[in-house]
Chain A
Amino acid sequence: AQKITQTQPGMFVQEKEAVTLDCTYDTSDQSYGLFWYKQPSSGEMIFLIYQGSYDEQNATEGRYSLNFQKARKSANLVISASQLGDSAMYFCAGWRGQGAQKLVFGQGTRLTINP
Chain B
Amino acid sequence: KAGVTQTPRYLIKTRGQQVTLSCSPISGHRSVSWYQQTPGQGLQFLFEYFSETQRNKGNFPGRFSGRQFSNSRSEMNVSTLELGDSALYLCASSEGPKNSPLHFGNGTRLTVT
A95 within 8 Å of B by Cβ? yes
Besides A44-B104, A101-B31, 20 more A-B contacts (Cβ < 8 Å) are: A33-B99, A37-B104, A42-B106, A43-B109, A44-B105, A44-B107, A45-B92, A45-B104, A47-B104, A52-B99, A91-B43, A96-B45, A100-B56, A101-B50, A101-B56, A101-B96, A101-B98, A102-B45, A103-B33, A106-B42
Q: Which residue of A lies closest to B101 (CB)?
A: A47
The digit string for B75-105, where 1 denotes a CB below 8 A from any CB of A, is: 0000000000000101010101011011111
Q: Does B15 interact with chain A (Cβ within 8 Å)?
A: no
Contact A101 B48 (CB under 8 A): yes
Q: Complex: how many Å from CA A100 to CA B31? A: 12
A95-B98 in contact given A43-B106, A44-B104 (Cβ < 8 Å): yes
Closest residue of chain B to A45, judged by CB?
Answer: B104
- Interface residue? B55 (CB, 8 A): yes
B58 is an interface residue with CB less than 8 A from chain A: yes
Question: Which residues of A line the B interface, CB within 8 A?
Answer: 31, 33, 35, 37, 42-47, 50, 52, 91, 93, 95-96, 99-108
User: In the complex, what residues of B have CB within 8 A of residue A31's CB?
Assistant: 98
Partner of A108, one of B42, B56, B102: B42
Q: Mark B38-73, 1 if CB is under 8 A from A, else 0.
A: 000011010010100001101000000000000000
Give 5 nearest A-B pairs by CB, closest first.
A45-B104, A105-B43, A102-B45, A47-B101, A43-B107
- In the complex, how many angstroms separate the beta carbon of B88 from the nearest chain A beta carbon? 6
Would you call B99 and A47 a contact (CB within 8 A)?
no
Cβ-closest chain A residue relative to B48: A101
